[in-house]
Copies of this chain bind each other. A is one copy, B any other.
Amino acid sequence: MAIRFSISSQSSESAARRGRLETPHGEVETPVFMPVGTKGTVKTMTPEELRLVGTEMILSNTYHLYLRPGADLVAAAGGLHRFMHWEGPILTDSGGFQVFSLSRLNKVDDDGVTFRSHIDGSEHRFTPEKSIEIQEQLGADIIMAFDDVVPYPVAYERAARAVERTTRWAYRCCRAHQRQDQALFGIVQGSIYPDLRRRSAEELLALDLPGYAVGGLSVGEPKDLFYALLHLTTRLLPWDRPRYLMGVGTPDFILEAVWNGIDMLDCVLPTRMARNGTVFVSGGRLTVRNAAYARDFGPLDPTCTCYVCQHYSRAYIRHLLKNNEILGLRLTTWHNLHFIHQFMAALRQAIAADRLGEFRYRFWQERGATPPDYARLTRGLRSQLAERA
């Protein structure tokens, strides 16, 4: 086994758990947030700085690295860890989501996807076997099965077909996968249809994979639907395997994901938001680019202990951002990653102390809101499930 997952604490009020993921490139405390290093770099940060802000594991994108600089080049460099000088664990996605969302003119058939590069329009084809081949060249610790990604909203029939394909492709990924030092995770699809989610999970569980991801959420659906499907889908995944929610990176969604038993998350949001001049602060967000902060000589977040908040003012950071100075992008990114990792640490602590309910209550109270009521939110979906069953 390439990875080992163990649970050290279990919340008595929720499905949340605190654990540890061992990989060939070191251990990770879960629940973990993975910053995204799309092109083999978490934008603006060095690996040493990632460590400083608390990053333990990163995600990198198969689609992007395949196009540039090419998976064979990364392999020739000794693999992605060495190429980018990140010695910690890496997860690569399968390319399925990017082929669907970024490439021009993608055409899906039962065997794979033909697409044109978003960079130069050149034609390429990904199949499950090709995705695994690339991911083996990149050499991440955790790799993802190639899935059929559908938009939101999508008709039931198309979603059902995507589930079928995703299952068949997962089998093909398993057969193609050779490297013993990489763990292959499956991705549960099914859009917003509970019976499809159940079918997808059941079929993939038969493969007895070392971990499972929830895909196809946080793709534009209403918040309540996100919460309901998160709740229903997470319960379908095996208790003893890491559960990974793809593409979620705001504190509210992270908290609820963890509450529902998610162990791993990734998202470009904290870093992308930072480059757009918005930072996380206790209780919300702050757009430091705004004119209101031109003469604000206080730190981004007065309660924050990060390097940026110790040494720089809102006025200075705003000045840098307004003048397109790279240091501005570095400082907001640094702060946001520190913030999100601190948030994860607080969640892990709350689970270990079995006080996640209290933590969650206060979190929502600070925002003048109440936590999602899963019984209510899932009622409609459950009855839909019952009808089809």
Contact = CB atoms under 8 A, between A and B. Distances in A.
Interface of A: 39-41, 43-46, 68-69, 73, 76-78, 83-85, 294-295, 297, 311-313, 315-316, 319-320, 322-323, 325-327, 329-330
Given A73-B295, A83-B313, A297-B77, A39 B330 contact: no
A68 B323 contact: yes
Residue among A78, A323, A327 having the largest count of chain B Cβ atoms under 10 Å: A327
Residue from A39, A41, A84 having most chain B Cβ neighbours under 10 A = A41
24 contacts: A39-B320, A39-B323, A39-B325, A40-B319, A40-B320, A41-B325, A41-B327, A43-B326, A46-B327, A46-B330, A68-B322, A69-B315, A69-B319, A69-B322, A73-B295, A77-B315, A77-B316, A78-B297, A83-B315, A83-B316, A84-B316, A85-B316, A326-B326, A326-B330
Nearest to A44: B326
B69 A294 contact: yes
Nearest to A313: B77
Q: Which of A44, A46, A77 has the most CB of B within 10 A?
A: A46
A84 B76 CA distance: 41
Contacts of A85: 311-312, 316
- Do most interface residues of chain A lie in helix, strand or loop, or is the interface mixed? loop
A292 to B, nearest CB: 14
A329 B330 contact: no
B73 A315 contact: yes
Given A77-B297, A83-B315, 9 more contacts: A41-B320, A44-B327, A68-B319, A69-B322, A76-B295, A77-B316, A78-B297, A85-B312, A330-B330
A298 to B, nearest CB: 11
Stoichiometry, as copies per complex, reads 2
A295 B75 CA distance: 11
Nearest to A46: B327
A40 B77 contact: no
Contacts of A73: 294-295, 315, 319
A40 to B, nearest CB: 7
A327 B43 contact: yes
A45 B76 CA distance: 31
A102 to B, nearest CB: 14
A39 B318 CA distance: 12
A148 B352 CA distance: 69
A30 B312 CA distance: 30
A312 B77 CA distance: 11
Nearest to A64: B323
A151 B320 CA distance: 31
Contact of A329 (B78, B311, B326): B326
Nearest to A119: B323
Contacts of A316: 40, 77, 83-85
A278 to B, nearest CB: 18
Contacts of A330: 44, 46, 326, 330
The 6 tightest CB contacts between A and B, nearest first, are A69-B319, A85-B311, A44-B326, A41-B327, A41-B325, A39-B323
A323 B295 CA distance: 35
A369 B294 CA distance: 52
A369 B26 CA distance: 52
A294 B329 CA distance: 27
Contacts of A319: 39-40, 68-69, 73
Nearest to A311: B85
A69 B320 CA distance: 9
A26 to B, nearest CB: 17
Contacts of A322: 68-69
Contacts of A315: 69, 73, 77, 83
